Amino acid sequence: MDHRRIVFTRFSGDGREMFNDLYVIDRDGKNETRLTMNPGPDGKYADYAGPRYNKDGSLIALVSTKNHARRLYNIFLMDLAAGKMAQITTGDLNISSVDWSGDDSRLVFAGADEKGLQQVHVVAMDGTGFARLTAGPSEHMNPMWSPRGDLIAFVRFAPGSKSSHIWIMDPAGKGQRQLTTDDALHANPTWSPDGSWLIFRCDLGTPHLRRLNVDTGELFVYEHPGRGHDSSPVWSGREIVFSSSSDWDEADADALANLYRMSDTGEDLQRLTSAQAYDYCGDW
166 Rama class: left (phi>0) / alpha (psi -120 to 50) / beta: beta
Q: Indicate whether 159 belongs to any domain.
A: no
Query: Helix %, strand %, coil % for the chain, to 5?
Result: 0, 45, 55
> pLDDT tens digits for the chain (284 residues)?
345 899 999 999 999 999 999 999 999 999 999 999 999 999 999 999 999 999 999 999 999 999 999 999 999 999 999 989 999 999 999 999 999 999 999 999 999 999 999 999 999 988 888 999 999 899 999 999 999 999 999 999 999 999 999 999 999 999 999 999 999 999 999 999 999 999 999 999 999 999 999 999 999 999 999 999 999 999 999 999 999 999 999 878 789 999 999 999 999 999 999 999 999 998 99
Q: Indicate whether 84 belongs to any domain.
A: yes
- Bridge partners of residue 79, in order along the sequence: 59, 84
Q: Indicate whether 130 belongs to any domain.
A: no
CATH code at position 197:
2.120.10.30
Q: Indicate whether 149 belongs to any domain.
A: no
Q: Indicate whether 53 belongs to any domain.
A: yes
Please give the model's pTM, rounded to 2 decimal places: 0.95
Q: Indicate whether 154 belongs to any domain.
A: no
Give the pLDDT of residue 1. 35
State how many domains the chain has. Answer: 2
Domain match, 284 and 183 both: yes
Q: Indicate whether 200 belongs to any domain.
A: yes
Sign of CA dihedral 100, 51, 3, 79: positive
Of 68, 95, 122, which marks where a domain is finished? 95
Of 95, 116, 133, which marks where a domain is finished? 95
Of 62, 95, 128, which marks where a domain is finished? 95
- Pair 242, 259: CB distance under 8 Å: yes
Give the pLDDT of residue 3. 59
- Pair 179, 186: CB distance under 8 Å: no
Domain match, 183 and 90 both: no
Alpha-carbon distance of 32 to 34, in angstroms, equals 7
Q: Indicate whether 115 belongs to any domain.
A: no
Structural domain for 15, as ranges: 1-95
Return the half-sphere exposure (C-beta side, CA atoms, 13 A cut-off) of residue 110. Answer: 23
Residues near 71 by Cβ (< 8 Å), separated by ≥ 6?
46, 47, 65
Give the pLDDT of residue 253. 76
